[in-house]
Amino acid sequence: MDTAYLEYAANGFYLLAVFLAARNSIHTWWLGIIGCLLFAALFYQVKLYAEVLLMLFFVVTNGIGWYQWGWQSGVKQVTNTPLWRLAGYSALAALVTLLYGYILHSMTDAYAPFIDSAILMFSVIAQFLLMNRKLETWWFWLVVNTVAVPLYFSRDLQLTAIVYIGFWFNAWYGLYIWRRLRNVSLTPG
């Protein structure tokens, strides 16, 4: 498939999925699976191999998230993650970023392997937080989107970079909405 068409299709599905995640909609998950498969093909073509791995990870976790949000009994409310746990996640992500970035740098023709690896690792954390309806997911998505935008522009993926600018704003909106949902879920019925 032509890179331009693939980029348009991937962004269309993924944009809708991310938009629906901020609105706490279960449809985020199946749309995300389609978008991730398309992005995996696109990122492979432009040699962003950590991004390919990330998209395949997202396919699996989108399936799990879909189950957790829809079919699992006792749907989780929006809650917070303890600060010590967030610090641990961040430290682990930084360490794995360095290790995986080094592996990509040494063994492949990957473009920007350390930046690509950082996007991978912080996205993994953000995804797990999203699946468990943790408010802090949006802070991690803000970091990911801030780093991803210049990387995508540097690979001539202008549409993807522009969409990720939109994701950056959507993460702020998701943070706002989920704060409200957290406050509602903590009040007695």
The pLDDT-based confidence of 34 (bands split at 50, 70, 90) is very high
List the domain range (segments joined by +) for residue 133.
3-74+81-186
Task: Tell me what the mean pLDDT of segment 29-50 comes to.
Answer: 94
pLDDT tops 50 at residue 6: yes
| Residues in contact with 181: Cβ distance below 8 Å, sequence separation at least 6, in sequence order | 24, 77, 78
Q: Confidence class of residue 2 from pLDDT cuts 50, 70 and 90? A: confident
Q: SS3 sequence, the chain?
A: CCHHHHHHHHHHHHHHHHHHHHCCCCHHHHHHHHHHHHHHHHHHHCCCHHHHHHHHHHHHHHHHHHHHHHCCCCCCCCECCCHHHHHHHHHHHHHHHHHHHHHHHHHCCCCCHHHHHHHHHHHHHHHHHHHCCECCHHHHHHHHHHHHHHHHHHCCCHHHHHHHHHHHHHHHHHHHHHHHHHHHHHCCC
Q: What is the mean pLDDT of residues 128-151?
A: 94
Average of pLDDT values for 51-75? 84
Between CA 78 and CA 62 the distance in angstroms is: 18
Q: Is the pLDDT of residue 184 over 80?
A: no
Taking 50 as the threshold, does the pLDDT of residue 17 lie above it? yes
Q: For the chain, what is the domain count?
A: 1
